[in-house]
Amino acid sequence: MKIYDGGKIFIGIVIFLSVATSPFLFNMGKATARPDPKLDTPEIQKMEKKQCVEPKEFMKAEHMTLLNDWRDSVVREGNKVYIGLGGEVYNMSLQGTCMKCHSNKKKFCDECHKYVAVKPYCWDCHIPPKEN
The residues that touch ligand HEC, with contacts defined as CB under 6 A, are 35, 37, 39, 44, 50-53, 56, 59-60, 63-64, 66-67, 70-71, 74-75, 92-95, 97-98, 101-102, 108-109, 112-113, 116, 118, 120-122, 124-126
Dihedral sign from CA coordinates of 104, 106, 107, 108: positive
Alpha-carbon span 42 to 25, nearest angstrom: 33
For the CB of residue 71, give the shortest distance to ligand HEC in the complex, in Å: 4
C-alpha Rg value of the chain to the nearest Å: 24
Nearer to ligand HEC, 10 or 115 (CB): 115
